[in-house]
Amino acid sequence: MLLKNTYNEFVKILAKPRSYLGIGALTLLIGVILFAMKADGSSFISFVTASFEQTLSFNGNILNGNLIAFIILQMLIIHIPLLVALVTGDLISGEAAMGTVRMLASKPISRTSIVLSKFIAGAVYTLILTVWLGFLALIVAKWIFGTGDLIVLNSDGLVILQEQDIMWRYGLAFLVAFLSLLTISTLSICLSAFADNSIGPIVSTMAIIILFTIIGSLDVSVFDSIKPYLFTTHMASWRSFFEDPIPMSKIIESVVILLAHNVILVVVAIVKFNKKDITS
Amino acid sequence: MEKETVIKVEQLAKSFGSFQAVKDVSFTVGRGDVFGFLGPNGAGKSTTIRCLLSLIKPNAGKIELFGKSYANNRSEILSKIGSIIEKPDFYKYLSAQKNLEIFARISGASVSKSQIGEMLEFVGLAGRGGDKIGGFSHGMKQRLGIAQTLLHQPDLIILDEPTTGLDPQGIVEIRNLILRLKNEQNKTILLSSHQLSEIELIANRMVIINKGKSIVEGEVQDLLNAQELVVHLEIDAVAQAKQVISNHFSTAHFVGETANELEVAIEKNQVPLLNKALIENGISVFALEPKRKLEDFFMKIVQS
């Protein structure tokens, strides 16, 4: 029954216009960045490398597809959660708002299966969004800007990664980025189990992301004990794959914390939905 | 032979915060019954029906369907039930066919696309399967709701206000559909409705609930026959008619009158004699009709 309802969830997601809104918005955003880089990318690069020009000389195609992908990923990892939440935040509460939840919950399918099928469908949608992001950011950018070594500016200074040493890093970086976005998807579905309207969980998800990001960026000791456990602290962990050497223990810690968030949020949603009186 | 019990509700209670929606509801529905579930707005009908479908967890009381409780038999019980609660809501962005496919997939039975097509035809929506629900009228959605209810051939059908918002033709169609389900397929049907005349025409048993409590339960005809029948007469000589009735029918009494109308409470088997007596005494009878019995009965129960 879980598989059958998961299939149902795919049918619903595919038929909803807002599912394509996310893909469309992502395409547009990346299109704008690619256009801007093509039009005036050299001055953007000069601005970044200006402080190193007295000690280093840069030769070759610095503004290449690898760098563009890095810039895109860094810029959009903040905004893509909204596109994810737009679809996943509606998955349970949208049924309540439409009135279909009472038809769904009066069928011989357990409420746990209903919630799990929505999580699976939400995860697949998030994966599709991440793969599309990867395709546009990496494949299309490389096609437009060519390839070359990747120069990354970290807190420790410049890291120069050779062309043949980049793709596997991107592969793993996109996996961790997917896990970050999956946490957003899981959070919004969990909030969706508490609401009976479509917009509430979407807005709440964004509010939580903003709140946690602010807490994470405030240099105040009172928050020091909770910062390591906020999922927003670990959403940029994909970036660690572009350090040299790669801080694997830091990445593993982030992955564990993000996975723990996913598990806890799924359990909370299942418990809540099972206990919920369906009155809508 | 005693009928198998399909629904057994005992002392059901449910509150939402400090508001007690259902206080003490009990009733029993046997196999093959068309069971009328009556009550004024806010009586607790929908809450009770939602408890029956495990949408709401009761605070107290017992619910048994097909002799089993929901505790360990939820899927088995729900696979034998088809239901419409309040109004059928569907995914507006999907076609009627796709909507039915979605609900069929999780109905616990194997339903083919051709069966869905046949069901659409059965409810009068042949040729509309490909249309999106967004463009459907209320009546069409109601009929699609019935199709969704019947897809997996359930033994028990629960219909909560199935004729609400329908035009007279739609009401007749739904009524005929329910009668066909009872007569041709021997389905057990629990029917909640404000249309008292519908219940009177369709149901063989009923319960009336008010303020969260079940007030009366039994065979519709037994309950109604226990009441006096009020006959509305349209005649040309009211005073003479009253005299004739008083002389011929000692148990009859007058409920109301106008210049050419008279309402008489009388036993049902005396109605033909009443008509005959009036005509034999030269009184022209333009109309003779029983007043809505269930409406009177219902009002009497609820107001008491």
Low-confidence stretches of chain A (pLDDT < 70) are 47-60, 155
> In terms of residues, how long is chain A?
280
Q: Cα–Cα distance between B276 and B279 in angstroms, integer? A: 5
Q: Point out the residue among A98, A107, A275 whose CB comes nearest to the CB of B107.
A: A107
CB contact under 8 A, B108 and A99: no
Residue B35's SS3 state is: strand
pLDDT, position B2? 72
Predicted complex: ipTM over 0.85: no
CA distances to A111, A178, A263, B80, B85 from A266, in Å:
13, 17, 5, 30, 29
Q: Where are the beta strands (DSSP E) in A50-130?
A: none
Q: Are residues B193 and B283 in the same domain?
A: no
The reply to whether A18 touches chain B by the CB within 8 Å rule is no
Q: Are residues B183 and B247 in the same domain?
A: no
CATH of the domain at B244: 3.30.70.250
- What's the pLDDT tens digit per position in B165-200? 777 877 888 888 888 888 888 889 999 987 777 787
CA distances to A18, A280, B5, B272, B276 from B240, in Å:
76, 59, 53, 18, 14
Q: Which residues of A touch B56 (CB under 8 A)?
A: 277-279
Q: What are the residues whose beta carbons fall under 8 Å from the beta carbon of B87, sequence distance 6 or more?
A: A99, B138, B141, B142, B145, B161, B164, B165
Query: Which of the residue ranges A262-276, B63-77, B134-148 has the most confident prediction, judged by mean pLDDT?
Result: A262-276
The domain total for chain B is: 2
Q: Is B48:B12 a contact under the CB 8 Å cutoff? A: yes
Q: Are residues B99 and B185 in the same domain?
A: yes
Q: Residue B51 above 90 pLDDT?
A: yes
Q: Cα–Cα distance between A201 and A117 in angstroms, integer? A: 18
Domain containing B254 equals 227-303
Q: Are residues B54 and B86 in the same domain?
A: yes
Q: Are residues B250 and B194 in the same domain?
A: no
Q: Which residues of B touch A98 (CB under 8 A)?
A: 89-92
Q: Are residues B168 and B210 in the same domain?
A: yes
Separation in Å, CA of B88 to nearest CA in chain A: 8
- DSSP secondary structure string, B59-125? SEEEEEETTB-HHHHHHHHHTTEEEE-SS----TTSBHHHHHHHHHHTTTS---HHHHHHHHHHTT-
pLDDT, position B59? 93
Q: Residue B71 above 90 pLDDT?
A: no
H or E segment to which residue B32 belongs: none
**Distance of alpha carbon A97 from the chain centroid:** 26
Q: Cα–Cα distance between B95 and A102 in angstroms, integer? A: 19
The reply to whether A203 touches chain B by the CB within 8 Å rule is no
- What's the pLDDT tens digit per position in A172-194? 999 999 999 999 999 999 999 99
Separation in Å, CA of A83 to nearest CA in chain B: 20
Within 231-260 of B, beta carbons closer than 8 Å to A belong to none
Residue that finishes a domain, picked among B168, B191, B219: B219
Nearest to B134 by CA among A78, A222, A16, A221: A16
Q: Are residues B54 and B166 in the same domain?
A: yes
Separation in Å, CA of A88 to nearest CA in chain B: 16
Q: Which residues of A touch B57 (CB under 8 A)?
A: 275, 277
Q: Are residues B196 and B235 in the same domain?
A: no
Q: Is A16:B93 a contact under the CB 8 Å cutoff? A: yes
Q: Are residues B187 and B288 in the same domain?
A: no
Q: Are residues B51 and B155 in the same domain?
A: yes
